[in-house]
């Protein structure tokens, strides 16, 4: 009687789908917290130097906590996208980067058409790019690591 399996492949503990997803989620939640903090600090700095964040269309001024809430929400949307791609895509990292960069570019349109002053528009564009600069590399790197774990090599 032989030990192991009959195919000659060593039967060791392979990370299951749930383990890969948990590690991706952990990295994503930490990145979301970092993105939220960085965006909120950047918005506070912009306010401190005189950006009023007044949007003429609605007559509203964007409050500082609003930046944190929106950043955290859309970071979680990005994480959900990454988890879905890990599950259903053969090339999750590449698909994630292409989708996230495209969505980030689309997110720059509302500040440009808001009718706000130049300082507010510039600050809002920067505040869209800050969380993207945190989330996209972290999730892409994590997706690459998870994909490598599937086959032992990078796809």
pTM of the complete model: 0.83
SS3 breakdown of the chain: % helix, strand, coil, rounded to 5?
70, 5, 25
* Percent of the chain clearing pLDDT 90 (strictly above): 77
The Cα 64–Cα 75 span in angstroms is 17
Instruction: Give the pLDDT confidence of 122-136 residue by residue, as tens digits.
Output: 999 999 999 999 999
Task: Say yes or no to pLDDT of 68 above 90.
Answer: yes
Number of H helices, E strands in the chain: 5, 2
Residue 78 lies in a domain: yes
Q: How many independent structural domains does the chain possess?
A: 1
| Structural domain of 55 | 33-151
Residue 23 lies in a domain: no
For residue 59, the model assigns a pLDDT of: 75
Residue 108 lies in a domain: yes
Residue 146 lies in a domain: yes
For residue 17, the model assigns a pLDDT of: 78
Q: Are 149 and 20 in contact (CB under 8 A)?
A: yes
- SS3 state at 145: helix
Residue 125 lies in a domain: yes
Residue 97 lies in a domain: yes
Which candidate, 11, 23, 38, places its Cα nearest to that of 134? Answer: 38
Residue 80 lies in a domain: yes
Residue 7 lies in a domain: no
The Cα 143–Cα 137 span in angstroms is 10
């Amino acid at each position: 009687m032989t030990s192991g399996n009959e195919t000659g492949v060593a039967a060791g503990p392979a990370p299951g789908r749930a383990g890969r997803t948990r590690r991706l989620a952990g990295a994503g939640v930490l990145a979301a917290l970092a993105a939220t903090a960085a965006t909120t600090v950047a918005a506070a700095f912009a306010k401190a130097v005189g950006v009023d964040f007044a949007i003429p269309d609605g007559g509203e001024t964007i409050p500082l906590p609003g930046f944190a809430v929106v950043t955290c929400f859309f970071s979680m949307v990005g994480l959900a996208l990454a988890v879905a791609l890990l599950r259903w895509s053969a090339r999750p990292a590449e698909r994630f980067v292409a989708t996230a960069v495209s969505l980030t570019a689309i997110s720059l349109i509302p500040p440009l058409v808001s009718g706000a002053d130049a300082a507010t528009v510039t600050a809002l564009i920067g505040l869209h790019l800050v969380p993207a600069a945190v989330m996209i590399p972290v999730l892409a790197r994590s997706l690459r690591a998870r994909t490598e774990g599937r086959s032992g090599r990078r796809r």
